[in-house]
Amino acid sequence: MLRDALTAVLAGKVPPVAATEAPGCALDFKPAAALVSNLTYHNRISRILQNNCLECHHTGGLAPFSLETYDDVKSHAGMMRKQVSRDVMPPWFAALPAPGEASHWANDRSLAPSDKADLLAWLASDRPLGDPAEAPLARTFPTDWEIGQPDLVVQLPRAVAIKAEGVMAYQTLTVETTLAEDKWVQAFEVRPTAREAVHHVIVKVHAAGTKVNEREAGSERDGFFAAYVPGNSHHTFPAGFAKKLPAGAVVSFQMHYTPNGKATTDRTMIGLVFAKEPPRHTIRVAGLSAPRLSIPPGAPNHLETTTITVPYDTTLLAFTPHMHVRGKAARYEATLPDGTTRVLLDVPRYDFNWQLTYQLAEPITLPRGSKLTYHAWYDNSPANPANPDPAKNVRWGPQTFDEMMLGYVEYYLPGQPAATPAKSVSVNIR
């Protein structure tokens, strides 16, 4: 954006983006006062960080720096205060439960009010270290696969060249597996080899012998088998749940690359762990979409809505709202056959930088005939600092400067138990 702005100014033109946020580190120059409490790093703060931050902020993790030690935390204290106080970190954007009500989400990353207050108070102080004898045991993290050693690794058939600058069209590549029998997948992990240039990956599974149509394989609208997006790279399904990988399946990868100033190559892979016994239920994914969306120029709160009728009794497991940089808010609702309406997920402040999946702590079953509705709001106004062009009428498109309206739903059909696959064997494709 800076290069585009300078080019426009030198040519006597108006920059295409008038303003944007500066994502640099917050500096911390002001001397801190002594903390008026017994809070220390060892007796309280390290535990908050272990429970809420280190999943990503560890050596080799997805985050750009580690918070595993006192020195790590002290050197990033200014940025931590800024992001925690803005509720940007830890990344979690679902509406908070009512006072006294437990969270509805199994993977809720939000800081408890008491944890947030203590962390901010300690960060604003002289940050006492405390007694090492009060410290918790250090957390350990996998040095290789987060899901453990996969039973099967499927990798792009060739390295993809990523240019240094500009925009790249989506790449869709396919791999034929050599599995002799059906498998049930208990866990997956998508691993780009050039993580810094990969925005997202959508993995789909097709029946053996399928001549994969690149346009169909590259479509996001009909769900996915696995995905890699900001905030999500791996997942392990609960006991009794799995996804089916048919014998001889063809695996397709939709790759969205974002050049970052340095030419490189990528050969993304997916690791799969097989269930040790047949599952009770097959996990499926559907996408609620509005491919004809049209967001008027300058609109600060444009709403798009799509609704489907549920054809069978369906049990919902998780939701993943997806928009681009004009995305503002999202909501899923269910209307039961008796006319009762229930909010399933409310995301009042959507953040494109974190494509989160919200996993229900208690699955919700919708009876046949229920209507499932997905609402998405967009800010196409100049007040949106991430908006690439407020004067544009925005339509559906694959690039970040286009838009999408997608509400993924993870579910299973309680009346249709999973079929039993044949005995398992270990196969590796690299």
Other CB atoms within 10 A of residue 277 CB: 13
Indicate whether 67 pLDDT > 50: yes
Tens digit of pLDDT for each residue in 135-158? Answer: 999 999 888 899 999 999 999 999
> Are residue 98 and residue 179 in the same domain, yes or no?
no
Domain end call among 229, 257, 281: 281
Could you tell me if residue 4 is inside a domain? no
Measured CA distances, 165 to 32, 69, 261, 276 (Å): 42, 36, 5, 45
Q: Cis peptide before 132, with omega less than 30 degrees from 0?
A: no
Give the domain extent around 172: 152-281
Q: Are residues 361 and 382 in the same domain?
A: yes
> According to the model, what pLDDT value does residue 406 have?
95
- Looking at the fold, whether 157 and 262 belong to one and the same domain comes out as yes
* pLDDT tens digits, 18-66: 555 544 455 555 556 677 679 999 999 999 999 999 998 999 888 889 9
pTM for this model (two decimals): 0.85
Same domain membership, residue 275 and residue 166: yes
Same domain, 274 and 173: yes
Q: For residues 104 and 179, state if they share a domain.
A: no
| Per-residue pLDDT band at 417 (split at 50, 70, 90) | low
151-201 pLDDT per residue, tens = 999 999 999 999 999 999 999 999 999 999 999 999 999 999 999 999 999
The label of the residue with tokens 């990969």 reads: 198
Higher local confidence (pLDDT), 291 or 221: 291
Mean of pLDDT values over 305-325: 96
Decide if 16 is inside a domain: no
Interval 344-363 mean pLDDT: 95
Domain boundary among 235, 251, 281: 281
- Taking only the tens place, the pLDDT of each residue in 92-134 is 999 999 888 899 999 999 999 999 999 999 999 999 999 999 9
* CA 138 – CA 90 distance, rounded (Å): 20
CA distances from 403 to 53, 301, 323, 396 (A): 30, 14, 6, 5
Residue 36 shares a structural domain with residue 100: yes
- pLDDT band of residue 16 (cuts 50, 70, 90) is low
Last residue of a domain, one of 222, 250, 281: 281
Would you say residue 1 has pLDDT above 70?
Answer: no
**Residue 10 forms part of a structural domain:** no
SS (H, E, C) 273-316: EECCCCCCEECEEEEEECCCCEECCCCCCEEEEEEEECCCCEEE
Same domain, 103 and 205: no
- Residue 141 is assigned to a structural domain of this protein: no
Mean pLDDT to the nearest integer, 357-367: 96
Contacts of 417 (CB under 8 A, 6+ apart): 280, 281
Report pLDDT digits (tens) over 216-267: 555 677 789 999 987 688 999 999 999 999 999 999 999 999 999 999 999 9
Q: In this structure, are 267 and 366 located in the same domain? A: no
Task: Indicate left, alpha or beta for 292 from its phi (over 0: left) and psi (-120 to 50: alpha).
Answer: alpha
Number of domains composing the chain: 3
Residues 327, 321: Cα–Cα separation, whole Å: 10
Q: Is the pLDDT of residue 214 over 80?
A: no
- 388 lies in the same domain as 295: yes
Helix 77-85 and helix 113-123: axis angle, to 10°? 150
